[in-house]
Amino acid sequence: MRRRELCRMMMATGALAALPSFARATGEVVQLRFDPNRTGATIPRDFVGLSFERAQLSNPGYFSPANTALVGLVRGLSTAGNLRLGGSSGEHTAYIGDTTRPPPFEIFGPEHNKTIKEGMFVSTAALRTLRGFLDATGWNCLYGLNLAHATPEQAAREAADVQRILGPRLLALQIGNEPDAFRNRFRPAEWGPRDFLAEWDRFHAAIAAAAPGVKFAGPDISNKLDYLTAFAGVAHLYPDLLMLTGHYYAMGPAGSPDATLDQLMAPDPKTTTLPLAGVETVQAAVRTARLPYRMAEGNSCWDGGKSGVSDVHAAAIWGADTMLRFAQRGWIGVNWHGGGNGIYAPIVGAPSSGFTRRPLYFGTQFAQALDGATFLDTGATPADPYLGYYALRQGGRTRIAVINKRDAAVTVQLPGLPEAKRTVLTGPSATARDATTLTTRSERPARTVVIPPLTAMLFTLVRR
């Protein structure tokens, strides 16, 4: 599609004036290089993750092995991923143990958070079906507990049952969701990092006593990095602390006129909850705590996602690049938030009506193809921030991922001869909703390759 046609389509959606065009001269070839002797982070097998609202557990039939459609879609992303349960509804969801109640809804997602605050619960029945769902998918669980409205004793009772029922499928517990946003909402105006740490410590002590050996993760912040820094500073006091966690959204809220595809594709969006300087603060916290970091919740646009931005092909390209960029920094996982009919959700739908994959699903699959791979140093190449380039070693083979986030083609010269088969993530336009494809193509190998607009390609180099 020509640039003028593409821009006209994007203008019609109100999402974007224009994506960045490729600034290099026509015919210029971008040289890609890597150093095979300088290695970086390795992508864990459970790097791929999904994040759902804890309130979804009010319906035991949702996360259930009987929900075979959802089981199949989750396994299609990874056979060893991570399911995080939390979200803002987690602070309004009570634990009722063995009590039985009819579920108040079939599905619950980020689009319900501002309208439903009552009647949500977790029961042991839901925990048992959750265990079956995790066994069926092969995934583990990062489970969030209520900090805002529960007591330490209530959280400890729930944690003990979660540990008993989920067993080895439980990766870690999180105490609270976005505690850095509690002030003036659930806590007094003067409440800050010190108060949070004191409260977290009380909850931790009660939970650890009730569920011996259970692991923890935290602080699961939104965007106030002083909470993460403070938490990292006391991490050494808790040998059962498994990882640091926090959230990331490229922009928001969904109603903001600044929430555009242009911002989504920007190397450092001015609207992001975690700018590049903040990413460096995260890296400093990792070094202080000597613990890894997982993005336990995040997506393109907070407040449920933005139509024409979060649910279109461009989001798939953005998602694939974001996952690999964070993995390259050593982050151990990315949990895309969603569920229900959330605009940014990779999977939407209900057991009664069926489920649908959104474009981000395919971008996640593209990145997941590199699980277990180790990054190789690519230096400063390429200099163009809209061209994602990653070199990795996987199973003794060298793999090259090139992600073109622009609306014009770019020609690259690979650092070696590729095999004939390549994986291609592409779509007809930035704003296409149902046309993203992830395919394996067989073509005559050549070192010089044209990467079409808004396309990602994964190559395997011929052994030398």
pLDDT tens readout for residues 155-168: 999 999 999 999 99
Ranges assigned E (strand) in 61-183: 82-86, 93-97, 120-123, 140-145, 170-175
Strand pairing class (216-221; 170-175): parallel
Could you tell me which of 160, 157, 150, 176 has the C-alpha nearest to residue 231? 176
State residue 18's pLDDT score.
44
Would you tell me which CATH number, out of the four given (2.60.40.1180, 3.40.630.30, 3.40.190.10, 3.30.450.20), belongs to the domain 3-41+375-460? 2.60.40.1180
pLDDT higher than 80, residue 309: yes
pLDDT higher than 90, residue 12: no
Q: Report the C-alpha gap between 458 and 390 in whole angstroms.
A: 9
Compute the average pLDDT of residues 407-420: 96
Q: What CA–CA distances, in Å, run from 427 to 299, 359, 363?
A: 20, 9, 11
% of the chain at pLDDT higher than 70: 94
Mean pLDDT of the chain: 93
6 vs 337, higher pLDDT: 337
pLDDT higher than 90, residue 41: yes
The predicted-structure confidence for 220-243, as pLDDT tens digits, reads as follows: 999 999 999 999 999 999 999 999
% of the chain at pLDDT higher than 90: 91
Sign of CA dihedral 178, 193, 273, 256: positive
pLDDT band at 382 (very low <50, low <70, confident <90, very high): confident
CB 356, CB 70: distance < 8 Å? no
Q: Report the C-alpha gap between 370 and 393 in whole angstroms.
A: 9
Q: Report the C-alpha gap between 148 and 155 in whole angstroms.
A: 11
Structural tokens at position 252: 């928001």
Q: What CA–CA distances, in Å, run from 246 to 155, 177, 213, 293, 462?
A: 21, 9, 23, 8, 39
* 411: amino acid identity, one letter: T
pLDDT higher than 60, residue 348: yes
CB 330, CB 295: distance < 8 Å? no
Select the highest-mean-pLDDT range: 26-40, 99-113, 291-305, 373-387.
Answer: 291-305
pLDDT higher than 80, residue 153: yes
Could you tell me which of 126, 88, 130 has the C-alpha nearest to residue 110? 88
Q: Report the C-alpha gap between 418 and 432 in whole angstroms.
A: 30
Sequence-separated (6 or more) residues with CB below 8 Å from residue 168: none
**Structural domain spans, the chain:** 3-41+375-460, 44-371
Would you tell me which CATH number, out of the four given (3.20.20.80, 2.30.30.760, 3.50.50.60, 3.40.50.150), belongs to the domain 44-371? 3.20.20.80
Compute the average pLDDT of residues 312-333: 98
